[in-house]
A = this chain, B = another copy of it.
């Protein structure tokens, strides 16, 4: 069982792999993604992954066989385990609990060579709907408080397998960064009685310089203070606290794929990380928090200054990044 430990000084939680601890010689032996090698996520290799949790099978084919267009499986090397009790305990001054949670893989498309930016837009929409389905299912587990959906694209962004996939980790605590966003959004709401995200969308739409694109329901923005060059936010234009489709995930799929194509074209297919931030289970519907997608192309290195300060140095102003994104032909 992995262990969740809290650092009492920073307030940060970490997941420590207790049994299968990496020894010093394990580092540096990076398993590189081999072009054309065996891929557990390709059709025909279903038996090499943990059993299917869910799949989209238009031909009604059997579980764990070919015929799917999207497939969800448990992570073979999960960061957290679904079995067991939390057992919050102290170790003197320190706090810890069992690493209870879920860690799942969403293979968005059977084709090994496609990515979120090149697969059929229907596959992107299916993936978004499945994220929602899995969140809804995991919410029933009273030990869990939050589901983080994320994607690592490319080796330098932390993807250990080449075949495009998203991941979700369900956690027994609301993560630090989400909690921080919620607290700032609440402070703003208490002061102004308006959602800060709604106000940002209003201001950015008026000004225009940091808007990348929009459609009827969604807007893509370069944030005012991005951590990284070409960081991009996608938000629903109307207030919505939680990631719920409302039958319009086709519009979300469209703007997400468009944004990723712009990033691919402007930056020559960079590695990137994508994350969905939504309200925690215990307060899914509220007036102060507004769900959104964050996309961070991996272009700069996190070094001592960032580790020590929590400050980021960004060499590209977001106004310029947005202009490049708007003007590129895709």
Contacts and interface: CB of A to CB of B under 8 A. Distances in A.
Interface of A: 3, 5-18, 20-24, 26-28, 79, 91-94, 148, 150-152, 156-159, 167, 169, 171, 175-178, 180-181, 184-185, 188, 196-197, 199-200, 203, 207, 223-227, 229-230, 266-268, 270, 273-277, 294, 296, 299, 301-305, 307-318, 320, 324
A313 to B, nearest CB: 5
A180 B179 CA distance: 14
A158 B303 contact: yes
A196 to B, nearest CB: 6
A272 to B, nearest CB: 9
B273 A304 contact: yes
A177 B273 CA distance: 22
A315 B14 contact: no
A93 B270 contact: no
A315 B184 CA distance: 32
| From A180, A308, A313, residue with most partner B Cβ within 10 Å | A308
Given A21-B320, A22-B316, 4 more contacts: A15-B313, A21-B315, A93-B196, A157-B304
14 contacts: A8-B184, A8-B188, A11-B184, A12-B310, A14-B312, A14-B314, A17-B317, A24-B266, A26-B315, A27-B267, A93-B200, A171-B309, A175-B309, A294-B307
A225 B7 contact: yes
A128 to B, nearest CB: 16
A79 to B, nearest CB: 5
B152 A304 contact: yes
A9 B313 contact: no
Contacts of A224: 5, 7-8, 91, 94
A150 B22 CA distance: 27
Contacts of A311: 12-15, 171, 175-176
A273 B14 contact: no
A149 to B, nearest CB: 8
A23 B197 CA distance: 28
A8 B196 contact: yes
Quickly give the copy total for this chain.
2
A214 to B, nearest CB: 19
Contacts of A176: 309-311
Contacts of A167: 304-305
B92 A21 contact: no
A20 to B, nearest CB: 7
| From A21, A185, A274, A299, residue with most partner B Cβ within 10 Å | A21
Nearest to A17: B315
Given A177-B10, A177-B309, A199 B93 contact: yes
Contacts of A27: 229, 267, 270, 299
A148 B299 CA distance: 24
A139 to B, nearest CB: 17
A185 B9 contact: yes
Contacts of A227: 12, 14
Given A24-B266, A91-B224, A315-B21, A157 B303 contact: yes
